[in-house]
Structure 1
Amino acid sequence: MSSVSSSEARHRRRLTNGVKQALRETTVRLASLNHQVSGKLGLRDIDYDCLNLLNMHGPIGPGALAKLAGVHPATMTGVLDRLEKAGWVARDRDPADRRATVLSVRRERGAEVVALYASANAAMDDICDAYTPEQLAVITDFLHRAAEAGLKATQEL
């Protein structure tokens, strides 16, 4: 016999579905925001996505970035050509292997991005102010785990 009543199970399912729906809405809203930011920066969405990934995981090689972005290496070459030409990324020789290339974000362009996210960041600060440090730790853990689940699902496709 289960220790959870059927009404408790239904309530939990509703709450879980609410979380999933909120994540879907958040994903759509953030994708729209990122699309607007990429447009203001004169970048294609995929270029901006790759720039974000490089900012989070770099410096790394083009192959590793292509894998993170889920794009073909030939597509990545075009993305990197555009980002380098626009002054967003630098391609340097890998000090560990002079035959390899390592990519890094050119930090001097960062202020442009920060300015475009200023109102969103201020709103997030206000939202976070309503939570205790312990609650913020739980939210952070949840979001990291949700991101990992999304990555795993992407890899399975």
Structure 2
Amino acid sequence: MTNTTDRLPEVLGELIVVSNKLTRMAAQLTEGAESPAIWRTLSALRDAGPVRLGELALLSRVAQPTMTKLVHTLVERGWVERIADPADARATVLAATSSGHAALAAWRAELIAAILPQFDGLDPDEVAAIARAVQIVHQRLDAPSSTPKEA
């Protein structure tokens, strides 16, 4: 009999694949014109709090010049603001504004509404299983040891 923890690498791999598929499908079902990089950047700011441009580029996995352009767009829309870095008055950090948080929440609601029909007919046990899986993933990803190490 195989130990179920032996399957963990395979299960985590499938979770990553299905999570990406779910996100792509939901985005395709909406008619939003925004670049996924916009939402990824706002999500990174929501999760990380105020950060410098270079750190935000690392979190969003884009080059610093690309992040500079993204931030310019987000600042123009009023979704991100530049704030003096409390640790270094010569530098600035970036933070999502309340408008940015609202835009991100509206996008998430649009994605959920678009993908919801794919899950019609789930029974309560299936919903509970998905909820438990989400809870486990959040607990692991939000644990202090899961923070990416700096190179």
Q: Which residue of 1 aligns with 2:102?
A: 111
Instruction: Establish whether residue 89 from structure 1 lines up as the match of residue 84 from structure 2.
Output: no
Distance 2:91 2:138 in 1: 34
Alignment of 1:1-157 (within 5 A): 8-9=1-2, 17=10, 20-34=13-27, 40=32, 42-118=33-109, 120=112, 130-131=127-128, 136=132, 139-142=134-137, 145=140
Structure 2: gaps (5+ residues):
none
Counterpart amino acid of residue 33 in structure 1 = A
How many residues are matched?
Answer: 139
Higher Cα Rg: structure 1 or 2? 1
Aligned partners of 1:35 and 1:45 also within 8 Å? no
Distance 2:91 2:29 in 1: 34
Give per-residue Cα distances to partners, 1:51-107, cap 9 Å, x unaligned: 110111111111111121122212211110111112210112223322101111111
Amino acid corresponding to residue 131 of structure 1 in structure 2: A
Higher helix share: 1
Cα deviations by residue, 1:29-65 (Å, 9 ceiling, x for unpaired): 113435666x63x532212211110111111111111
Counterparts in 2 of 1:65 and 1:97: CA distance versus 1, 3 Å? same
**Letter of the 2:70 counterpart:** V
Give RMSD over aligned pairs: 4.0
Query: Contact conserved, 1:53 with 1:68, CA < 8 A, in 2?
Result: yes
TM-score (ref. length: structure 1): 0.63
| Change in 2 beyond 3 A, CA 1:54/1:24 | same
Contact 2:46 2:101 in 1 (8 A): no
TM normalised by structure 2 equals 0.65
Contact 1:91 1:103 in 2 (8 A): yes
